[in-house]
Structure 1
Amino acid sequence: MESLEVDALAAPPIELLADASLFLDFDGTLVELAARPDSVRVDTRLATLMERLHDRLDGRLALITGRGAGQVRALFDAPRFTVAGSHGLEFLYPDGRTALAPRPPTLDTALAEMRAFAAARPGLLVEDKPLGAALHYRCEPEAEADSIALAQGLAARHGLYLQTGKMMIELRAGGGDKGEALRLLMASPEMAGTVPVFLGDDDTDEPGFIAAALLGGAGVLIGDERPTAARYRLSGVAAVLDWLEEAAA
């Protein structure tokens, strides 16, 4: 079987953010992936950088993440930018406004079954989210096949959306993705008339790359080369922070 060729992507030019609205994934983009999601912290460098980007872009800045929006907002200590959480199904705005899709009624049952499965496997971690439940197997990669099979069965039985990710599998509410979140935010008065730039590392970020391109902007893939709708690439979190600091200057 022939291997799939992947085009080499150039690093994004600094001028990409001129007259742009900036959308950022969180884990794997602004912070390194961790074995436990609750062990991640926002350091002074990142907190300061986000403030500088907010000022540089006149507020045209948002995070779009698979985490719960409240969790991310707390990590930044009440930031001035919008956080779209749960893959774009919940929004926390700087002025205190919120928008949240309903929690699926079957999610708690699926969550309990997921926890029972993980209880006998110390390396697995179950993450309860506002609109989803994620099973992380980063610390027990040999459990990947069984974890995916469990999630597929739970999704089918409970009518939940199956979301893949890096070393994790998630059950969540359907009806939204990061591309839809980007389009909704781009319709706001602050961002209308600009072009979107979206940075992300995972396959969950691909809808964001596609939406950005369709609106005249671009996606930036973070990490190793792979098939993607992004136009540019940065090698990892360290490269992202360096590039954003240069752009903010």
Structure 2
Amino acid sequence: MEGLARTDTPDQTTPRPQPPLPARDWALFFDVDGCLLDFAAHPSDVIVPEGLQRHVLKLASMLDGALAIVSGRAIDALDETFPELQHLPAAGMHGLERREIHGQRTHAPKPPAALDTVLAEAIHVSSAHPGTLVERKGPNLAMHWRAATMPELARDAFRAFAAATLRLLPDYVVQGGDMVLELRPGGATPDKGDAVETFLMSPPFAGRVPVFVGDDLTDEHAFSVVNERGGLSVLVGAREPSVARWHLADPASVRAWIARAAAHDGASA
């Protein structure tokens, strides 16, 4: 691994290199939407390509189990999407919940009563903007406009709604993402970077080179943690700015990279 981690901060004029194939001393973390999977109008409509789960499992075996899914989705939703990966470590809701290597679960906090009122109001706002979606995820509430017929108007409406709603949810914050806003508990609430740090504190992740692959603004927390530890931060797509130091073009490129790694390990076994 020596010499792989770059110390310069990339910008739009500095092309990021593609990451090397995974090494056996890595601890590997993947985001889901926009990274492992292509986006869909509704989260439940995503397509899991044939062979992806098998390749991920082979890669996890190569890393002695040091592979985790770190997503904004709830863990139960991840398990519905990836039924073959249900035993893998995972962090859901941006780190609010976590599943360890032996299946122990850390659950998200109970949502406040006011969230039901906020959900109803969010659905009312969404009804005025065709193609938008309101998604309840435990104590989190996500408002999507990826499939909106007029995305800029929908974005502005959701932003105004989210800002006004904080009076009903004083302990919450507004978190931005790729064509989504999410209301989530604030304060000391974990983010994806915290989730990665927690995994790295215990086997099989401890003592390994951390590598995070993700596309979204919420992945920047994890990129920073990985950079601080001399690992590889891999940006999927063309979003800027980012502290990521490596790059893969799109989810198809991520899947091809995983498939090459799985095939390479098979050839070297």
TM-score (norm 2): 0.86
- Shifted more, 92-101 versus 208-217: the winner is 92-101
Q: Which amino acid aligns with 1:165?
A: G
Counterpart for residue 143 of structure 2 = 135
Counterpart for residue 223 of structure 1 = 237
In the aligned structure 1, how far is the partner of 2:239 from the partner of 2:123?
34
Can you give the 5+ residue segments of structure 2 that lack an aligned partner in the other structure? 1-10, 265-269
On the 8 A contact 2:111/2:138 being kept in 1, the answer is no
On the 8 A contact 2:16/2:245 being kept in 1, the answer is yes
On the 8 A contact 2:215/2:239 being kept in 1, the answer is no
In the TM superposition, residue 96 of structure 1 has moved relative to its aligned partner by 3.2
In the aligned structure 2, how far is the partner of 1:131 from the partner of 1:17?
37
TM-aligned CA distance change 1:225 to 1:168, over 3 Å: closer
In the aligned structure 1, how far is the partner of 2:15 from the partner of 2:142?
32
1:24 aligned to 2:24?
no
In the TM superposition, residue 5 of structure 1 has moved relative to its aligned partner by 4.5
Counterpart for residue 163 of structure 1 = 175
Matches within 5 A, 1:155-234: 155-159=166-170, 160-174=172-186, 175-224=189-238, 226-234=240-248
In the TM superposition, residue 124 of structure 1 has moved relative to its aligned partner by 1.4
In the aligned structure 2, how far is the partner of 1:221 from the partner of 1:156?
35
Give aligned pairs, total: 245
Counterpart for residue 118 of structure 1 = 126
In the TM superposition, residue 241 of structure 1 has moved relative to its aligned partner by 0.9
In the aligned structure 2, how far is the partner of 1:34 from the partner of 1:204?
18
Counterpart for residue 65 of structure 1 = 71
In the aligned structure 2, how far is the partner of 1:226 from the partner of 1:155?
28
Can you give the 5+ residue segments of structure 1 that lack an aligned partner in the other structure? none
TM-aligned CA distance change 1:193 to 1:93, over 3 Å: closer
Per-residue CA shift, 1:108-163, capped at 9, x if unaligned? 22212111211233321111112311111112213111111111211344121211
Q: Percent identity?
A: 39
Q: Which amino acid aligns with 2:175?
A: Q
1:235 aligned to 2:235?
no
In the TM superposition, residue 107 of structure 1 has moved relative to its aligned partner by 2.4
Q: Which amino acid aligns with 2:66?
A: R
TM-aligned CA distance change 1:5 to 1:243, over 3 Å: closer
Counterpart for residue 164 of structure 2 = 153
Counterpart for residue 83 of structure 1 = 90
In the TM superposition, residue 6 of structure 1 has moved relative to its aligned partner by 4.4
Counterpart for residue 10 of structure 1 = 17
In the TM superposition, residue 233 of structure 1 has moved relative to its aligned partner by 0.4
Q: Which amino acid aligns with 1:172?
A: R
- Shifted more, 94-103 versus 108-117: the winner is 94-103
- Shifted more, 174-183 versus 90-99: the winner is 90-99
RMSD, aligned CA: 1.7
Moved over 2 A (4+): 4-7, 41-44, 92-96, 106-109, 119-122
